[in-house]
Structure 1
């Protein structure tokens, strides 16, 4: 009998698309992944005012969801954080079947949308789930003198008395937390890397939510003498870093940073969607699914 594994996934955005792409590679679900992604991109455009819907949100929700077939996606409504708190259509659930090497080895996978998949794993609601690697560093990785750079580093810094959740691997949707600096802060010929920060004293501009993450990534030794400062919400992060002289920000190509006259330095840690497991909850079927998902060959910064 085919077993069902419940997997916590993000409700929207780049992380959910990364999950759907990975699931599609092991479950012959390309059409499903494309359908969900295109639906949510359209709904995002409507919520942001970049598209105009020809029917109200409830009519669209009813049209998108099929409650009679678990292999068709279901959606739900949440309140968006934008001004006016508009209702936004987000992913709710769908069931797919992951292929097998022989009869009886198939695994039915129920993808269930959660606002905070990582925390759902921490509370033992799920054995497997996907969420941002950032949350692991922000919430459960202990701080050390040296910084973290890999999954091995991350898992080694998780106190087993705090949580049973561990990171398995990344999905390849990589955006990096990167060091950025103005040329006058960086001495001629010097490399903008972790060692530079270790010798640096002065302001370091970061987003307030990433303070603990930056501490974990750089290490406590490197941030001695550093004063964390935060960007004014009214200006771009890169502009704020240009005013401070040194900062850490999420970058993909670094082009916007260079437009602000900044030097793009070391990629400190990938902000990447990761597959995670709760060691106390993952049974044989979850192990089969985890192996199928982890064995997919793709370019990712976060590997075991």
Structure 2
């Protein structure tokens, strides 16, 4: 009987969808990926209150929906679980729990081998405690937790491994999935330089407040470098305040952007893309099994359009 390789994945959101997209193409399971993604998007909309359910109260009950979605008898069908959402009232939200995907006809694996995707709130931390050997998580979390702070900036995901102290963790980044958004410098016109670029060089001469999300404080320190931050102090959005609006009030800040349209709506100018935020494949086992090596190769590959290139 072949080996089943457990892989830690996020329970919801863009990183999980990126993992599912990757597997849909490499393992030919598009229907499974679409099923999980559409279910979670539907449940997110319900939690946010952007859609309403039809039918009686019993059918709309979250536990009833959970039972309808989940299959506990067939591990190759997805199973879901409940999580307290951080929105007002802390509603129960249905999120991904697990699914087993057979590795039929995959080169380098024995008959009966499979991977099992297992949802975790923070997969990186599960790898740090060796609960898993492989997993996916946002590169941001690694910067927030273990990357060393140095005077010089960190500008590329591929430089993360060199910044990880082996005494802190043996988890290493293998590759990215290409779902890239950017931590971007942005400023109001009266703060942004009139003639020069809004970039790291501007920040080196700047003194004053820099608005960021509190959870990104260590990430921003790593990305900008401690030397650049001389004379700068962090400001934070008030609870419930939209990030771009808070940056507009402060005059200068760093936040994740996809199109930048919301920032422009608040009168902000977009500057340098300081660091790419991307879902990455992580490994914590120095001596992987033959099946694990084959799975890692399956999840990696030259067909990925990613900001990350790591020498194997």
TM-score (norm 2): 0.92
Q: 1:147/1:105 Cα in 2 relative to 1: closer, same or farther (>3 Å)?
A: farther
Q: Which residue of structure 2 lines up, in the alignment, with residue 90 of structure 1?
A: 95
Secondary structure of 2:154 counterpart: coil
1:234, CA displacement in angstroms? 4.2
1:6-65 Cα shifts (integer Å, max 9, x gaps): 000011111111111111111111000000011111111122222233411122111111
1:291, CA displacement in angstroms? 1.2
Q: 1:127/1:281 Cα in 2 relative to 1: closer, same or farther (>3 Å)?
A: farther
Q: Which residue of structure 2 lines up, in the alignment, with residue 80 of structure 1?
A: 85
Secondary structure of 2:160 counterpart: helix
Q: Larger deviation: 2-11 or 95-104?
A: 95-104
CA contact (8 A) 1:128 1:282 kept: no
1:196 equivalent in alignment to 2:202: yes
Runs of 4+ off more than 4 Å: none
1:141-177 Cα shifts (integer Å, max 9, x gaps): 0001111122331110000111010111211211110
1:189, CA displacement in angstroms? 1.9
CA contact (8 A) 1:80 1:87 kept: yes
Q: Which residue of structure 1 lines up, in the alignment, with residue 150 of structure 2?
A: 144
Secondary structure of 1:186 counterpart: coil
1:107, CA displacement in angstroms? 4.2
CA contact (8 A) 1:8 1:126 kept: yes
Quote the Cα distance in structure 2 between the aligned partners of 1:153 and 1:205: 25
Q: Which residue of structure 2 lines up, in the alignment, with residue 121 of structure 1?
A: 127
1:42 equivalent in alignment to 2:47: no
CA contact (8 A) 1:127 1:280 kept: no
Q: Which residue of structure 2 lines up, in the alignment, with residue 135 of structure 1?
A: 141
1:197-250 Cα shifts (integer Å, max 9, x gaps): 112111111111111000000111111111111122343222221222211011
Q: Which residue of structure 2 lines up, in the alignment, with residue 20 of structure 1?
A: 20
Runs (5+) with no aligned partner, structure 2? none
CA contact (8 A) 1:126 1:281 kept: no
1:196, CA displacement in angstroms? 1.4
Q: Which residue of structure 1 lines up, in the alignment, with residue 51 of structure 2?
A: 51
1:67 equivalent in alignment to 2:72: yes
CA contact (8 A) 2:209 2:234 kept: yes
Quote the Cα distance in structure 2 between the aligned partners of 1:47 and 1:234: 17
1:238-273 Cα shifts (integer Å, max 9, x gaps): 222122221101101112212222110111111211
Q: 1:187/1:80 Cα in 2 relative to 1: closer, same or farther (>3 Å)?
A: closer
CA contact (8 A) 1:107 1:289 kept: no
